Amino acid sequence: MKRVDDLDVAGRTVLLRADFNVPLSGGTITDDRRIRASLPTLAQLTARGARMVVCAHLGRPKGDDFAARAAGGPSLRPVAGRLAELLGHAVAFAGDVAGEQAAATTAGLPAAGVALLENVRFEPAETSKDDAERAGLATRLAALADAYVGDGFGAMHRKHASVYDVPGLLPHAAGQLVLSEISVLRQLTTDPPRPYAVVLGGAKPSDKLAVIGNLLGLADRLIIGGGMAYTFLAAQGHQVGDSMLEADQIAAVSAMLAEAARAGVEVVLPVDHLVADRFASDAQPELVPGVDIPAGRRALDIGPATQELFARKLADAKTVFWNGPPGVFEFPAFAGGTRAVARAISAVPGLTVVGGGDSAAAVRLLGFPDDAFTHISTGGGASLEYLEGRTLPGLTALEAP
């Protein structure tokens, strides 16, 4: 895979596919980490005299055409403002993706100038499953630039026009963020230091069974919390009350538990729970001191005994991958389990990787600094698919000559 250093960019226009899919509240960016993650590649390219045209997506716009999606938003305009603040100079903003405004904005860029195109998902062709539709948008995007750099790791698992199709039309390379993400993920899949503990949470086991299956040949210990844990407990014959349950996955989970036992992989599940009678931030937490949860109660967090158990199982680890919180961390009364897991992982002296998504959001909401962990991924879905052993379309495109 070519690196940015391999491209001749002086005096040329480079189309950078970044990942600016940041959270917004009332039009205000609440976490700018993904914008900051793009700065090293942007700085390197502009220092070498490139004019930069940045392409990115934000959210999942709804509508049948550009006009409908643009009317509903979300727009990348707030991102342009924050990017300008971080760079310390103006960032031109084009009100379309690959139309007249994009062409005019690009043509007006000075040497080392930076422009941001409007949300690429305002163009329905970006996410189309029709190759010809995507190719049409890719051709228009490619016409804006002389070279392409893929640096939006969070979108690398998508076969989208700006991720998969444009690289085939221009000289291309991977940006620093993509290369650093791949480097870390390879450490997790190629002879990682042991013991190797994988901490998985989130809502559904169906979302992560493929990851678990692939990791059974790599990990020494699987620590499972969150909503998905209750399907695992049900598969062991426990009562889970009104907790989240994928009943149609019990057979698959049972088979996975049997395979883990055959492979000698330890599976660690909750032994107590914080429950409530409803899913709400003001629900009153109740401690269930055992494994079984009574009817009429749903688990929203792991209990103190489970916090201690998980911490013990992480204490001797040399490698940790964490994806998915063990509780509803957004509700203060049910954030203790996630805080305890984050604290235990941050104390591990070896390689600690937070796999993006809700886990990355949780550590920031709970006040953990980025350097409390070796690496916080910018791409939750992309990280998981990589660990499943799946081919990521965006990486495939960048690896092509």
Q: Which two tokens stand for residue 299?
A: 């688990």
Annotated active-site residue in 77, 204, 343, 390 = 204
Please confirm, yes or no, whether 73 is among the known catalytic residues: no
Annotated active-site residue in 327, 380, 381, 394 = 381
Please confirm, yes or no, whether 49 is among the known catalytic residues: no
Annotated active-site residue in 357, 379, 380, 394 = 357
Q: Which two tokens stand for residue 320?
A: 């940790």
Burial code of 335-366, b = ≥16 C-beta within 10 A, e = fewer?
Answer: bbbbbbbbebbbebebbbbbbbbbbbbbbbbb
Please confirm, yes or no, whether 381 is among the known catalytic residues: yes
Please confirm, yes or no, whether 51 is among the known catalytic residues: no
Q: Could you give the 3-state DSSP secondary structure of residue 214?
A: helix
Nearest CA to 337 out of 316, 364, 318, 309 is that of 309
Do 194 and 172 touch, CB atoms closer than 8 A?
no
Do 19 and 34 touch, CB atoms closer than 8 A?
yes
Nearest CA to 193 out of 385, 78, 349, 345 is that of 349
Distance CA 243, CA 311 (A): 23
Burial code of 176-196, b = ≥16 C-beta within 10 A, e = fewer?
Answer: bbbbbbbebbebbeeebeebb
Nearest CA to 149 out of 2, 322, 288 is that of 2
Do 272 and 251 touch, CB atoms closer than 8 A?
no
Q: Could you give the 3-state DSSP secondary structure of residue 299?
A: strand
> 43 CB contacts (<8 Å, ≥6 apart)?
none
DSSP string, 84-142: HHHHTS--EE-SSSSSHHHHHHHHTPPTT-EEE-S-GGGSGGGG-S-HHHHHHHHHHHH
The stretches of 153-271 forming alpha helices (DSSP H) are 176-189, 209-215, 229-235, 250-263
Do 189 and 182 touch, CB atoms closer than 8 A?
no
Distance CA 17, CA 193 (A): 33
Active site residues: 34, 204, 357, 381
